[in-house]
Structure 1
Amino acid sequence: MATLGIVIAIVVYLAGLLIMGATFAKENHTVGDYYLGGRKLGPFVTAMSAEASDMSSWLLMGLPGIAYASGICDVFWTALGLGIGTYMNWLIVAKRLRRYSEKNNSVTIPDFFEHRFRDKSHALLLISSLIIVVFFIPYVGSGFAACGKLFSSLFGLDYTVAMIASAAVIIGYTATGGFMAASVTDFVQSIIMTIALIAVVCFGLSSVGGIDVVSNFATSIDGYISLLATHDFATGSRVSYGGIITIISTMAWGLGYFGMPHILLRFMAIEDPEKIKLSRRISTVWVFIAMGVAIFIGVMAHTMVNVGVLDELADSERAIVIIAQTLAEHSFAASLLAGVILAGILACTMSTCDSQMLAASSSVSENILHETLGIELSEHMQMVMARIVLIVIAAIGIIIARDPNSSVFGIVSFAWAGFGAAFGPIMLLALFWKRANRYGAIVGMLGGGIMIFLWKFMIKPLGGIFGIYELLPGFIVGLLLCVVVSLLTPAPEKEIVEEFESI
């Protein structure tokens, strides 16, 4: 009976996604509609779809898992950096990018870079498109893997079958409905995530006897509730977090927002730029509350283990999954609610995958095949090509995800750093510094992206101060290179400066 309720809830959820995809397929008349929704997103859909596509399964699995394993210190500084990054991205990038991209008729992020710097060589377009493909395809694969692992562990299915089935649903509604389907389903999925967080907290607190029990138990563990230390459960001792350098490195996750294509596209697609302030408030409040609740769930799970509601967790990242399965044992109604909680975990992953597939697809079909290679197609054939490319990209993601032991969160962390370092500095300078030119943009983009690989695989293993998150040095290098090279090369043409000043 418990499993039946979970199955019903998840099947209804997946069917709803496919229906929405088919519904929005009728509204895709041009490639601009397919990739940017005709710039018709309302403020609520813009805000919540942006944050849903941002969070991935990291929200409901990663954050509670880290909090459960070592305390709140690491996740607090990470969440604070992400929260500040979210707010600043909406505050300083969203409106200006929306106006700029409409003025120079940009549909994708590579389009924007090329049009902003008037790069007739297409070098900037090609480089930025390849960066999106290089980092997004493994990212998509990691999302498919996360869905496969969840279905496999819940229902005892073969991992490969479960992974391909979940991938087929994501491909189905994204390929048919395009950007609007992805955005509206992401909005719905953000609501499901919210319900999941609330349901888990309510069940957990009722099962242990209230928030005072959680607070007393957590504070009794040395270093567990601290902003400067963590707790090592193997030794039972308090461990120093590492000081200001480690904190800055952890908070640097927030810098990644300025370069995330799937989030920046939401800014370009909002219908009314004057409604961005409302979207900013909605998204910022939701992000801070959602991450705070997710961290609390990790802490609460320890109390649930201590009082015997849960068995000791072998995998801390499955805390919410185990809590949902425990809830499902109470009644059929409870199992339906547990199914909604588990659908929330799927929603985190799917809402990220669909946006990433669209961004990668647009880079290949529009920016590489059509604009760089000059392949001319009719409007209808461009739509067909867009869907074919999306399916091919998804198929490569499935191949990458075929190994159930692949590191989902390791891939997410690396891809986040890659986009943040390659695109983030260039996006900020493109919007706020009129002296930036195409030479600086090209060198800065390449330098930031290359530094991610160098720091991750050659410098970071040295340890010590070099152990910081690769996004921070990559972002700094990309920023400095763009500024220095722009100053050493000819100033932008009058036409570029006039467009910049008009924005």
Structure 2
Amino acid sequence: MIQMQTLLTFIIYFIFLMGVGIYFYRKTVDVEDYLLGGRGMGSWVTALSAQASDMSGWLLMGLPGAVYIGGMNQAWIAIGLFIGTCLNWKFVAPRLRVYTKRTESMTLASFFEDRFKDPTGLLRVISALITLLFFTIYSSSGLVAAGKLFESMFNIDYTLAVIIGSFVIVLYTFLGGFLAVCWTDLFQGLLMFVAIIVVPILAYNYVGGAEAIKEAMLAKEVSTSLISKDFSIMATISTMAWGLGYFGQPHILARFMSIKSVKKVPEAMKIAVTWVFISLGGAVIVGVISIPMFDSLASGNHEKVFIYMISRLFNPWIGGILLAAILSAIMSTIDSQLLVSSSTLTEDFYKRVINKEASDKELMHTGRICVLLISIIALFLALNPNNTVLGLVAYAWAGFGAAFGPVVLFALFSKNTSWQSALAGMVVGTVVLLIWKQVGLGKIMYEIVPGFIANVATILIVNTMVKQTDEDILNDFDEVIEVTDTIA
């Protein structure tokens, strides 16, 4: 009976999502609508869509699970992410909105080409390949989270659970494009926000308060503070380095590109920063409270503590709504990743290489087909139940941060950076990250750190040898800075 009630809640939720997809299918008239919502998104939609798509299933599964195992020292991840969020909204969002509108760029890869006027097309093609590589990994992490959620709730086979989750997400993304994704993200972000506040408050009273939590943490020998006896500078840098990843995440940067006006960025930033602060804090608290609530969990089940907590505290109807928040976190990221991957294949490969004269209607159809292709590949990667949500997210997050983060910052803040510098930095940063990860050095230092540093160093070195001399590029940069400085 419990499963039936919860299942009914989920069915209603799925119907709502399908309705949104169908509604915006009729509203989407050209490729800019499908890929960027016509650059007409409001502050609330932009803010919550950016942050809901950012946090994904790892916020309600991966992060609480990490805290459950390691204790409070895992909260450095949340601190790094919060700082990264603030810096990204403050410095990247306004300039990126103005610059991408000026260059009429609809993807990050096309922005790099247009911003630096790369005559070879290599910046765009390599950026697109990196996007597809890491978004396929990233999308699979969400499908793993969906599989674990359905498996826990309904006792169904993991493979079937992953397939069901994939079907629902792909369908409304396929139909409604960016508009459907952003408006569902708004609702999903609000649902996640409610869940991450309500659940820890009730769970705190359930376990007996602060003393009971501290006793359980001491008994399990996990850290009770940010700086404990096993504190490590290297480990702290690695966890805080998650914040570096923000500057290169295409699905978040796409939200900055889509906001209706740069004047709306400050308002959106306030909404986003508030949401992130409370949500990250709530996720850490969930992990801490789960330590006394669940004495021991079977191997690999630590990422399900939020699911178990809801099941223990709430009746099936309310529990079903709160569990839908976890599904919201998962869906709000995968749909964005599928759409950005689709944008990359459509704009940066199909339109550039196959059919340069493709109509808007043809590009929209191509985009929808690309959503299906990427989702199928991600589905096969997700079928391994031994994958962890946090592990897959960490690799993809680092990949984007190391490859794109420095290039985005130099594009927006360095007048003299050339396309040769940007291309060299991107390639070196990606190669260093991949090698660092493959040889096992990621256990010593999170791979985003050496990758990011290598990218920055390469750009600075090449800049001394190949300077930007194109007057059009220099004038464009000055005009963009003038506009954004006026708003600030």
**Structure-2-length-normalised TM-score:** 0.94
Q: Summarize deviations over 1:473-496 as a string: whole Å, max 9, x none.
A: 100111111121122114230010
Structure 1 contact 199–341 (Cα < 8 Å) conserved = no
Structure 1 contact 436–492 (Cα < 8 Å) conserved = no
Structure 1 residue aligned with 2:279, among 272, 281, 290? 290
Q: Secondary structure at the match of 1:59?
A: helix
Partner residue, 2:361 = 380
Amino acid paired to 1:33: D
Partner residue, 2:239 = 250
Q: Secondary structure at the match of 2:223?
A: coil
Question: Residue 271 of structure 1: CA displacement?
Answer: 0.5
**Gapped regions of structure 2 (runs ≥ 5):** 481-488
Partner residue, 2:134 = 135
1:454 aligns with 2:453: no
1:301 aligns with 2:296: no
Distance 1:305 1:398 in 2: 31
Distance 1:425 1:80 in 2: 21
Q: Tell me the percent identity.
A: 40
Structure 1 contact 327–335 (Cα < 8 Å) conserved = no
Structure 1 contact 449–474 (Cα < 8 Å) conserved = yes
Partner residue, 1:235 = none
Q: Counterparts in 2 of 1:228-267, with a 5 A limit?
A: 228-229=227-228, 240-242=230-232, 244-267=233-256
Q: Secondary structure at the match of 2:153?
A: helix
Q: Secondary structure at the match of 2:439?
A: helix
1:154 aligns with 2:153: yes
Q: Secondary structure at the match of 1:60?
A: helix
Q: Secondary structure at the match of 1:61?
A: helix
Structure 2 residue aligned with 1:268, among 248, 257, 267? 257
Amino acid paired to 1:488: M
Distance 1:407 1:323 in 2: 19
Structure 1 contact 421–478 (Cα < 8 Å) conserved = yes
Amino acid paired to 1:424: G
Q: Counterparts in 2 of 1:337-486, with a 5 A limit?
A: 337-458=318-439, 460=441, 467-486=444-463
Partner residue, 2:483 = none
Question: Residue 217 of structure 1: CA displacement?
Answer: 5.0
**Structure-1-length-normalised TM-score:** 0.91
Do the aligned partners of residues 24 and 205 (structure 1) sit closer, same or farther apart at CA in structure 2, a change above 3 Å counting?
same
Question: Residue 216 of structure 1: CA displacement?
Answer: 6.0
Question: Residue 199 of structure 1: CA displacement?
Answer: 2.9
Q: Summarize deviations over 1:194-232 as a string: whole Å, max 9, x none.
A: 122223223313323445544565577766312222xxx
Structure 1 contact 68–302 (Cα < 8 Å) conserved = yes
Structure 2 contact 429–451 (Cα < 8 Å) conserved = yes
Q: Summarize deviations over 1:355-374 as a string: whole Å, max 9, x none.
A: 00011111111111112444
Structure 2 contact 30–360 (Cα < 8 Å) conserved = yes
Amino acid paired to 2:230: S
Distance 1:325 1:459 in 2: 38
How many residues align? The count is 479
1:492 aligns with 2:473: no
Q: Summarize deviations over 1:153-184 as a string: whole Å, max 9, x none.
A: 22122222221111011011101110111111
Q: Counterparts in 2 of 1:62-141, with a 5 A limit?
A: 62-73=62-73, 75-141=74-140
RMSD: 1.8
Amino acid paired to 1:359: V
Partner residue, 1:232 = none
Structure 2 contact 75–226 (Cα < 8 Å) conserved = yes
1:189 aligns with 2:188: yes
